Chains A and B, each alone.
Chain A
Amino acid sequence: MERNLMKGNEALAEAAIRAGCKCFFGYPITPQTEVAAYLAKYMPKNDGVFIQAESEIAAINMVLGAASAGVRAMTSSSSPGISLKSEGVSYIAGSDLPCVIINVQRGGPGLGGIQPSQSDYWQATKALGHGDYQLLVYAPCSVQEMVDKVTLAFDMADKFRMPAMILADGLLGQMMEPVTFPERKTEFEPKPWAANGHGNKRKHNIINSLYLVPEELENSIRNRYERYEIIKANHTEAESYLCDDADFVVTAYGASARVAKSAVNRARAMGIKAGLFRPITLWPFPVNEINEACKNAKALLDVEMSMGQMIEDVKLAINCSKPVHFFGRTGGVIPSPDEVLGELKKLSEANK
């Protein structure tokens, strides 16, 4: 298979085209700009639509329109822009529409900074917009995984009629690695619910998130949560690296997992039995997988490019059955393997 050396953001954009993304709507923001630039260049050549919207709010509502019409649609942004999209994402979820949203995270809050960060974990997994709903959240940690997860995100979004997010960061977006792409998707499941003109052949379709009768709204939410249960039971993904005999399991996702992996390798070389547990789906969180991965561990070390957000899910997933320590850098500072190794050494000393 052909291998290409590509930047994470560009590979992700190419993967979207191959996944049959017909419409892209975006608004410029660092560090996701290459996604939009690539699609501006290649969407028109692939019979697709590219629009630079007037705002992230408009962009996500264009996505809502395109998704309603039954085509695959995507938007991408970075942290401040994702905050603006949150209203639209809530409407998309409430209307049972599929779409893909890319967040190439940067430091926050506010305008924050433009360096890589992982401080939107809570936003992505708990509270992107109002109401009872979830997004599928994928956290790639290599350029190849950017490609694979975008492909999967489109399929899963369609299958479960819900929004899916790729939670990347500036580091993955800018990094260059060799990748292979899947074949271009040309066959799609029919969407009989789409608002695409009934052609006088069926009753009119309505795409809507309004239910004025509380019991009806409750029912619609319960239906959605039944789908969530199916996803939780069947579609979690994680990587366990050297976890079987590990005394200390590092938990990290995305870019910080790359740093953590080097630290784990160096710890092993020094005789410290360390392992890495890396969630790939952040929602649903891989609960069974983490319990399996840390079954022999004395303690866990959660590493994030934030003040500690995923750590809450880690503790919940293992029912606080073991001590979970934390090491994080934030604001766009990337933790170094040395720093993580230092934490592992401390843990090893303390547990002698």
Chain B
Amino acid sequence: MAVIFDRPKSLADVPTHYCPGCTHGIIHRLIAEVIDEMGIEGDTIGICPVGCAVMAYDYFNCDMIEAAHGRAPATATGVKRSLPDKFVFTYQGDGDCAAIGTAETVHAATRGENIVVIFVNNAIYGMTGGQMAPTSLPGQVTQTTPYGRDVSVAGNPIKMVEMLSVLDGVALAQRVAVNTVPHIREAKKAIRKAFENQKAKRGFSIIEVLSSCPTNWGVSPTEALEKIDEVMIPFYPLGAYKDVTAEGAN
């Protein structure tokens, strides 16, 4: 019988610890598909964050490194500068990439480090049980904003790809989502483009993926996917904010 759907080779055949309905799994799969399609598993080094994806080193079959919270872009810099012909990607949550590790992210970007950053924005600290993230929406109720995020107290959410798009070292800064089939297809294309940029030595590529956290948002998995359309995308519009391969990025 013809196999029409299978596990990507570079994704390990092991159970993950992600909650049911969490879209971390979809994002893993897209990265693995791209690695397989480009035939680069043996030449890729992945770097995990501290966050729900901390154990991604067990899920990808390429060589993997577990970085300190927020430091993945610096660690990736060390790997890439040592092995300029290998592919290096980081996989980071919003707390990791946009709070504790903002400096590492911004400076890896502005240096034009030839790496791929997969930035999983679920607007919450998933791993530690649902505290406010730098990307939590105004009014969002979290464990540390029990009355809703009051921007006059807790500050405003950070828009990473918009911010990074002004930096010269950046080749691609794009926001995608994985809550619907068309969005997933777009996300896959963006991730592929990011890895192709690395192959062509174009510099820093960041793909911000709007992701769900049904557990800490306190909704069902399907409602979580709907929320991405209803509240996340209006605040965090999808699209390529910078793409050196395209004319007229939006």
Contact = CB atoms under 8 A, between A and B. Distances in A.
Please indicate whether A and B come from the same complex rather than being unrelated chains. yes
Contacts of B41: 198, 200
A352 interface: no
Contacts of A95: 66
- Could you say which of B60, B62, B66, B107 has the most chain A C-beta atoms within 10 Å of its C-beta? B66
B45 A196 contact: yes
Contacts of A268: none
Contacts of B62: 197-198, 204
Nearest to A63: B78
Interface string B120-153: 0000000000000000000000000000000000
B28 to A, nearest CB: 15
Given A91-B68, A95-B66, A69 B74 contact: no
B54 A210 contact: yes
Nearest to A72: B82
A206 to B, nearest CB: 5
Interface string A193-235: 0011111110011111110000000000000000000000000
Interface in A26-62: 49, 51, 53-55, 57-59, 61-62
Nearest to B17: A212
A171 interface: no
Nearest to A57: B71
Interface in B200-249: none
Chain B interface residue number, banded: 35 or more
Given A54-B103, A58-B103, A207 B64 contact: yes
A294 B54 CA distance: 51
Interface residues of A, number: 41
A88 B71 contact: yes
A68 B79 contact: yes
Contacts of A88: 68, 71
A73 B63 contact: no
A199 B43 contact: yes
Given A195-B45, A196-B63, A204-B63, A61 B104 contact: yes
Contacts of A206: 57-58, 63-66
A208 B64 CA distance: 8
Contacts of B79: 65-66, 68-69, 195
B64 A195 contact: yes
Nearest to B72: A61
A58 B74 contact: yes
Given A54-B107, A210-B54, A198 B63 contact: yes
Given A66-B79, A197-B43, A209-B66, 6 more contacts: A58-B71, A87-B68, A195-B63, A196-B63, A204-B61, A208-B65
